[in-house]
Amino acid sequence: MTPVSVEIDDLAWAPARLSDITLHVPPGQIVGLLGPNGSGKSSLLRCVYRSLRPDTGTVRVDGADVWRTPARAVARKVAVLTQDAPADLENSVEQIVALGRIPHQGPLGGLSVAERVLIADAMRRCDIADLAHRSMATLSGGERQRVQLARALVQEPRLLILDEPTNHLDLHHQVELLRLLRSLGVTALIALHDLQLAAAACHRLVVLDQGRVVADGAPADVVTADLLRTVYQVDADITLGPDGLPRIAVHLYDPSTAPVTAPVTEGHDPVGTEG
Ligand SMILES: Nc1ncnc2c1ncn2[C@@H]1O[C@H](COP(=O)(O)OP(=O)(O)OP(=O)(O)O)[C@@H](O)[C@H]1O
């Protein structure tokens, strides 16, 4: 699949205070969208995947204004993974993953042999092949998340939009998801809260604060102590690792009030200070 460009120009949407958003993403670039709770990440993504019509401004995917393009045509290019729980909890995992083919199907529906192979392959890549016949209702949060990712892959998107995709995932599956993302060669917009993972997985980071872009650039240029202090009100030491990526050591405690030793409760000596 050839990746697409995304061009957001002068976008504004008042309820999320989004304003002056201009963001041009070349084909194949993975952009991490960062920012505090309520800064407008999900709203901006919704404007891109045509679920929210901005008050002003345009969003073009592959050169076409998404609001002048039929929803089905957008869905053939853009796959979305959101935090919204799937409504169809009684369906099996395999049925949910197969839904990814709907934008590509003709009026008669039905899956070709090639599409069945694609579905099996996506389930294997997302580590859910063993769950194929389980109902969604019986899955854990992380398993459901991986099912939604497999559905998105089956859609064969040219743009992938992921809203906090690592939310329910354990560390292994977080790393696998981000590795998979890098291997796909698609354009991606991905809202993340983990700055360290975002820096490792994305070519470019864009930070929103109160609906405005406050930083945009290469991970090492964006993830700075100054940004953490001004945008997140967190003090941290940032060093660059041998891979050129930022390593974040957050100051959890004010040194003057930091607990020196952990309290030891009776009958429980986790650090072996007794005896
Ligand atoms: N439909 C809506 N109507 C009114 N306000 C909304 C609507 N959708 C979002 N908002 C508000 O817009 C702001 C941005 O919300 P959004 O979900 O885009 O933030 P976010 O950066 O994704 O946050 P989080 O990190 O908490 O997921 C919030 O204050 C939210 O309450």
Give the 3-state DSSP-derived string for 59-84, with helices as H, strands as E and coil as C: EEECCEEHHHCCHHHHHHHEEEECCC
**Residue 35 is part of a domain; what is its CATH number?**
3.40.50.300
Q: What percent of the chain has pLDDT over 70?
A: 91
Residue 20, pLDDT > 70, answer yes
CB 101 within 8 A of CB 72: no
Cα(168)–Cα(245) distance, rounded to whole angstroms?
24
Residue 119, pLDDT > 80, answer yes
Is the Cβ atom of 42 under 6 angstroms away from ligand 1? yes
Q: For residue 213, tell me if it sits in a domain.
A: yes
Is the Cβ atom of 43 under 6 angstroms away from ligand 1? yes
SS3 content of the chain, % helix, strand, coil (to 5): 35, 25, 40
Name the closest-CA residue to atom 13, ligand 1. 16
Q: For residue 98, tell me if it sits in a domain.
A: yes
Q: For residue 231, tell me if it sits in a domain.
A: no
Residue 66: give the domain boundaries: 6-219
Residue 273, pLDDT > 60, answer no
**Residue 106 is inside which H or E element, if any?**
none
Pairing of strands 187-191, 159-163: parallel
Mean pLDDT of the chain: 89
- How many structural domains compose the chain? 1
Name the closest-CA residue to atom 11, ligand 1. 16
User: Using alpha carbons only, how large is the chain's radius of gyration in Å?
Assistant: 21
Cα(5)–Cα(16) distance, rounded to whole angstroms?
25
Among 11, 17, 34, 43, the mutation site with the greatest number of ligand 1 atoms within 8 A of its Cβ is 43
Q: For residue 264, tell me if it sits in a domain.
A: no
What confidence tier does 255 reach under pLDDT thresholds 50, 70, 90?
low
Is the Cβ atom of 257 under 6 angstroms away from ligand 1? no
pLDDT on residue 275: 43
Predicted TM-score (pTM) of the model is 0.88
Is the Cβ atom of 219 under 6 angstroms away from ligand 1? no
Name the closest-CA residue to atom 27, ligand 1. 37
CA of 205 to the centre of ligand 1 (A): 20
How confident is the model over 74-94, as a mean pLDDT? 83
Q: For residue 240, tell me if it sits in a domain.
A: no
Q: For residue 232, tell me if it sits in a domain.
A: no
Choose the weakest-confidence range: 45-49, 59-63, 111-115, 121-125.
111-115
Q: For residue 234, tell me if it sits in a domain.
A: no
Exposed/middle/buried for residue 204 (C-beta within 10 Å: 0-12, 13-18, 19+): middle
What confidence tier does 11 reach under pLDDT thresholds 50, 70, 90?
very high
ipTM: 0.98
Name the closest-CA residue to atom 10, ligand 1. 16
Choose the weakest-confidence range: 13-17, 65-69, 253-257.
253-257
Ordered strands of the 212-217 beta sheet: 78-81, 159-163, 187-191, 30-34, 204-209, 212-217
